[in-house]
Amino acid sequence: MAKSAPNQRRATVRDVAALAGVSPGTVSKALNGTGQISETTRSRIEAAAEVLDFRPNELARSVFERRSYTVGVITTDSFERFSVPVMLGAEDALGAGRISAFLCDARDDPIRERHYIDVLLGRRVDGIIVTGRSSNPRSPIQVDKSIPVIYALTPSTDPDDCSIVVDDVSAGRLAGEHLVGLGRRNIAHITGPRSFNAVNERAQGLVAALAPAGLQVAGEILYGGWTEAWGRQATQILLRSRPDVDAIYCGSDLIARGVSDALREAGRVVPKDVALVGTDNWALIAEGARPPLTSVDMGLADVGRLAAQRLLEAIDGVRHSGTELVPCHLVLRASTESPEGMIAAL
């Protein structure tokens, strides 16, 4: 350990002015591109700024403009599987650095959340994105109406707020249409807890996709945990009640992994005997399965991008309200066969 000298002082506008032999106001004009300055003076100032490694002070600019060019992102899920893609999408849309994001991890704790909101307001953020781990609505955060807030993934219970969420009905519909298109007739559904909106909406989408083919979900819809163990257990139940099952749509990739293992151990071949579709398109899980899993991608990065776009619009005075749905898409892997039409088209 070495005790070093205090940090070297950074160059200021005054230092640049002294070196260039002009007033600080002239430096400011030159670097901001405002006012009338001769080309030689401008060059001299730019050279002085270069020599001194002077960087225009964004903090000072922020105070002047009453804008901080920062936004806050508050999540409840400790930046895990769901909020990270939302955040990366938002980062893309915030313009790669023109606006920077403060990330705050509320860890499902209302006191942490309140604390972070106060920190963000103290730092004069231009707006706040609130995200979480489920699509169940949450009560709005308490901030002055002058601060734009967008809810991403987890909508606000206040219909006047702007919320960007996954279209979970489309997830079930895409899976159902794909399996019907493959000629499957006995399509079962193994999913997560009934207390999740996403669970109910995916089931609803699946039912809607089967109806035009004159089909219903095979057996009872099996609601349980978001785990591999539940996937294995539900498969035992399903194979006893509906041994004729020829396709299963799962509410998550982890559940589908459990289903895949249980089918193999029961001597059922995927996809020949039973086609299998997961949800999340979580590459590590979907690609590690035998065979790799076809899965519904929830477009979380798109949710983040749209949320950031709506936030920027709100900061500029154009506010949206209500809930916008972002559609899912299907990623094909070996756990479902290609529909004959697709093969014919190749």
Task: Give the Cβ contact number of residue 191 at 10 Å.
Answer: 27
One residue of 112, 133, 138, 185 binding its own copies per CB under 8 A: 112
Q: Identify the CA nearest to 199 among candidates 178, 176, 238, 172.
A: 172
CB of 237 to its own copies, least distance (A): 18
Q: Which is nearer to its own copies, 46 or 185 (CB)?
A: 46
Residues 154-193 as x/- pattern, contact with its own copies by CB under 8 A: ----------------------------------------
Which of 66/240 has CB closer to its own copies? 66
**Interface residues for its own copies in 41-80 (CB under 8 A)?**
53, 55-60, 62-63, 66, 68, 70, 78-80
Q: Of all helices (H) and strands (E), which one includes residue 177? A: helix 168-181
Residue with tokens 């959340």: 113
Whichever of 7 and 38 has its CB closer to its own copies, that residue is: 7
d(C-alpha 81, C-alpha 89), whole Å: 13
97 contributes a contact to its own copies by CB under 8 A: yes
HEC sequence for 92-158: HHCCCCCCEEEEEECCCCHHHHHHHHHHHHHCCCCEEEEECCCCCCECCCCCCCCCCEEEECCCECC
Amino acid identity for residue 190 in this structure: I
Asked if 7 interacts with its own copies (CB under 8 A), we say: yes
Query: Which residue's structure tokens are 């982890």?
Result: 254
Residues 218-257, mask of contacts with its own copies (x by CB under 8 A):
---------xxx------------------------x--x
- Least separation in angstroms between residue 58's CB and its own copies is 5
User: Considering beta carbons, is residue 242 or 319 the nearer one to its own copies?
Assistant: 319
Q: Is 14 in the site for its own copies (CB under 8 A)?
A: no
Q: Closest separation between CB of residue 260 and its own copies, Å? A: 11
Say if residue 306 is exposed, middle or buried (CB neighbours under 10 Å; 0-12, 13-18, 19+).
Answer: buried
Whichever of 36 and 146 has its CB closer to its own copies, that residue is 146
Which residue from 30, 75, 105, 247 is in contact with its own copies, where contact means CB under 8 A? 105
Q: How far apart are the first and last CA of the chain?
A: 66
Helix or strand or coil: residue 324?
A: strand
- Give the whole-angstrom CA distance, residue 344 versus residue 93: 39
Residue whose entry in the numeric block shows the structure tokens 């080309």? 39
Among 91, 167, 280, 302, binds its own copies (CB under 8 A): 91
Rounded Cα distance, 243 and 239, in Å: 5
Applying CB under 8 A, which residues contact its own copies?
1-10, 53, 55-60, 62-63, 66, 68, 70, 78-80, 84, 87-88, 91, 96-97, 100-105, 112, 115-116, 118-119, 121-124, 144-148, 227-229, 254, 257-258, 261, 284, 288, 317-321
